[in-house]
């Protein structure tokens, strides 16, 4: 038997591609959570409301200091004891999204701090309402600067989706594992799985690098 | 509700025993002065004397540590609540602050908006002006500052002098009663200073704005102001019409300062 069987490889490709679609879906949904929640965390921390600020800080530190896998297990296996049962897919999106929100919030924070204090002062001098200062002045300057960094986190999330095989989500690596455990041929499924990740991650990171180079004019 | 009408003559700005510290560093110590409506007052003094802090307190960019500030009869630093004076909250600050406009040393235009965007932002978002009215006002003000053709430019495409003219127009678009000018020509290339100063002279001559100005341009201070206040160490050392203060300063401290400033040129 050859190490690499092309017929077999093409035979399993549709299953792996289907799993890749699931992986991309989870990445996109989790990214939406991470990008929105991270921004909210950054804004709450910046406004420095007592108690709320400390609570958010503690939560962020806690999430950052524990492994993502533990968080996934916790949401999937422990929450049901408290009457909250979430599907594996929902757990995947939430766990990845919330975990990465703690990182994107730092990215946003850096972007917000890079906006000169004079911009806040000019907004105050015009008596702009707080929300308008954020949406009209600060964020439009802060976010373009940090898009590359945010993009890198989205790529990282994409590559972390296979962690969800621990709770039975059929993403690419899990699909490869299942195929292999039936056929006892692992070379093709795992190789194809790796290549699929490479085919998406690499162009994506090239895109981020281009973004990095042309962001100078913000 | 917040307006208090205790005096019959109504000064535009009243500083009453205002104190400002940064840590142990006393910037303003029991400062008292008033500015009448329509008056142009220039603040001069060495750096660290508290000139800019006075403007920043008026713009509510800093909070007073003691004493009170009133603008147009209303408390700015405080508000009345149940018959007592309490530190002003954000909402109160905003109402009183609408009467005040400020132009900054570093222009501080919003780089993510066009010139037009900068000019209509306040009028539409804060004053609730309809967009076409705000646009008309923007065009009018750009004409005044001589930049009619730059309405759709981005601030980064403008020279420092042009940016500062737009910033002046932006402040005026809010129709303030008080205009604060914080070293508005200090960041400009020397050849652009004269244009901005002559624009300010025009504005001073043709409006009834109360203007408080911090500047190192002594020539401008001399012919623009009705009054010059010399500050040192957070206190008013001398307060006189420019003709007197520049020609025959009474205080030794003023003489030293003026000599140092004029020698530098």
Confidence of residue A217 (pLDDT cuts 50, 70, 90): very low
Written as six digits, the tokens of A57 are 């800080």
Inter-chain CB proximity B122 and A118 less than 8 Å = no
Whether B122 and B67 map to the same domain: the answer is no
Chain A residue whose CA is closest to B126: A128
Please count the structural domains in chain B.
Answer: 2
Which residues numbered 139-198 in B keep a CB inside 8 Å of some CB on A? 156, 170-171, 174
Residue numbers in A near B184 (CB within 8 A): none
The answer to whether position B245 is within a domain reads yes
Instruction: Say which CATH number the domain at B222 has.
Output: 3.40.50.300
Whether B141 and B254 map to the same domain: the answer is no
Whether B130 and B51 map to the same domain: the answer is no
Which of A119, A124, A130 is nearest residue B110 as measured by Cβ atoms?
A119
Chain A nearest-CA distance from B239, in A, is 27
The answer to whether position A68 is within a domain reads yes
Whether B205 and B239 map to the same domain: the answer is yes
The pLDDT of residue B3: 47
Instruction: Say which CATH number the domain at A77 has.
Output: 1.10.3720.10
Residue numbers in B near A129 (CB within 8 A): 94, 125-126
The pLDDT of residue B7: 47
The answer to whether position B253 is within a domain reads yes
Written as six digits, the tokens of B1 are 């509700």
Predicted structure pTM score: 0.89
Q: Is A116 on the interface with B (CB under 8 A)?
A: yes
What range defines the domain where residue B196 resides? 1-99+176-265
Query: Which among B27, B30, B37, B28 is positioned nearest to B71, based on CA atoms?
Result: B37
Whether ipTM exceeds 0.95: no
Which residues numbered 32-61 in B keep a CB inside 8 Å of some CB on A? 59-61
Select from B175, B198, B221 the last residue of a domain.
Answer: B175
Chain B residue whose CA is closest to A144: B112
Chain B residue whose CA is closest to A217: B156
Whether B170 and B182 map to the same domain: the answer is no
Q: Is B68 on the interface with A (CB under 8 A)?
A: no
Q: What is the pLDDT of residues B72-99, one digit of tens each?
A: 988 988 888 888 888 888 888 888 899 9
Q: What is the pLDDT of residues A91-133, one digit of tens each?
A: 999 999 999 999 999 999 999 999 999 999 999 999 999 999 9
Which of B108, B111, B125 is nearest residue A128 as measured by Cβ atoms?
B125
The answer to whether position B241 is within a domain reads yes
Inter-chain CB proximity A125 and B110 less than 8 Å = no
Whether B226 and B258 map to the same domain: the answer is yes
Inter-chain CB proximity B108 and A136 less than 8 Å = no
Helix (H, G, I), strand (E, B) or coil at B63: coil
Task: Determine whether B252 is exposed, middle or buried from the number of CB atoms within 10 Å of its CB (0-12, 13-18, 19+).
Answer: exposed
The answer to whether position A1 is within a domain reads no
Inter-chain CB proximity A119 and B94 less than 8 Å = no
The pLDDT of residue B138: 97
Select from B175, B194, B221 the last residue of a domain.
Answer: B175
Whether B13 and B75 map to the same domain: the answer is yes
Whether B123 and B171 map to the same domain: the answer is yes
Q: What is the pLDDT of residues B224-243, one digit of tens each?
A: 999 999 999 889 999 999 99
Q: Which residues of A81-116 are buried (b: 16+ CB within 10 A; e: fewer)?
A: eeeeebebbebbbbbbbbbbbbbbbbbbbebbeebe
Please count the structural domains in chain A.
Answer: 1
The answer to whether position B240 is within a domain reads yes
Select from B148, B175, B202 the last residue of a domain.
Answer: B175
CA A189 – CA B90 distance, rounded (Å): 61
The answer on pLDDT for B38 being more than 50 is yes
What range defines the domain where residue A106 resides? 6-217
Inter-chain CB proximity B125 and A121 less than 8 Å = no
Which of A116, A136, A217 is nearest residue B121 as measured by Cβ atoms?
A136
Q: Is A130 on the interface with B (CB under 8 A)?
A: yes
Whether B125 and B203 map to the same domain: the answer is no
Whether B75 and B185 map to the same domain: the answer is yes
Q: What is the pLDDT of residues B157-185, one digit of tens each?
A: 999 999 999 999 999 999 999 999 999 99
């Amino acid at each position: 038997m050859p190490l690499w069987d092309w017929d077999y490889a093409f035979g399993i490709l549709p299953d792996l591609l289907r799993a890749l679609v699931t992986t991309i879906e989870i990445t996109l949904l989790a990214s939406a959570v991470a990008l929105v929640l991270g921004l909210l965390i950054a804004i709450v921390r910046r406004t420095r409301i007592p108690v709320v600020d400390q609570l958010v800080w503690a939560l962020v530190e806690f999430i950052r200091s524990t492994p993502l896998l533990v968080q996934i297990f916790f949401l999937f296996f422990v929450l049901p004891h408290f009457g909250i049962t979430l599907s594996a897919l929902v757990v995947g999106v939430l766990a990845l999204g919330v975990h990465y929100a703690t990182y994107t919030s730092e990215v946003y924070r850096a972007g917000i701090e890079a906006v000169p204090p004079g911009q806040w002062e000019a907004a105050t001098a015009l008596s702009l309402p707080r929300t308008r200062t954020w949406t009209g002045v600060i964020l439009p300057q802060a976010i373009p600067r940090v898009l590359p960094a945010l993009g890198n986190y989205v790529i990282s999330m994409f590559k972390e989706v296979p962690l969800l095989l621990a709770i039975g989500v059929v993403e690419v690596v899990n699909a490869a594992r299942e195929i292999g455990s039936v056929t006892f041929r692992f070379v093709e499924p795992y190789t194809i799985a790796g290549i699929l990740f490479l085919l998406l991650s690499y162009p994506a990171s090239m895109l981020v690098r281009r973004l990095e180079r042309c962001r100078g004019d913000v | 509700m917040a307006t208090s009408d205790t005096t019959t003559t109504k000064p535009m700005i009243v500083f009453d025993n205002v104190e400002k510290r940064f840590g142990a560093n006393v910037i303003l110590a029991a400062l008292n002065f008033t500015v009448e409506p329509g008056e142009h007052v220039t603040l001069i003094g060495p750096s660290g004397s508290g000139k800019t802090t006075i403007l920043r307190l008026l713009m509510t960019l800093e909070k007073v540590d003691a004493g009170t500030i009133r603008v147009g009869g209303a408390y700015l630093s405080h508000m009345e609540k149940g018959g007592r004076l309490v530190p002003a909250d954000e909402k109160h600050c905003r109402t009183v602050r609408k009467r005040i406009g400020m132009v900054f040393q570093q222009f501080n235009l919003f780089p993510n908006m066009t010139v037009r965007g900068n000019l209509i932002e306040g009028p539409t978002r804060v004053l609730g002006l309809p967009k076409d009215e705000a646009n008309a006002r923007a065009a009018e003000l750009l004409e005044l500052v001589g930049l009619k053709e730059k309405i759709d430019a981005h601030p980064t495409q403008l020279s420092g002098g042009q940016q500062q003219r737009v910033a002046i127009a932006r402040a005026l678009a809010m129709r303030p009663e008080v205009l604060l000018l914080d070293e508005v020509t200090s960041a400009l290339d020397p050849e652009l200073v004269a244009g901005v100063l002559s624009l300010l002279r025009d504005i001073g001559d043709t409006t009834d704005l109360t203007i408080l100005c911090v500047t190192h341009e002594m020539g401008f201070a001399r012919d623009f102001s009705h009054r010059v206040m010399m500050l040192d160490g957070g206190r008013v050392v001398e307060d006189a019409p420019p003709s007197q203060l520049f020609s025959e300063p009474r205080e030794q401290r003023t003489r030293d300062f003026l000599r140092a400033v004029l020698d530098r040129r």
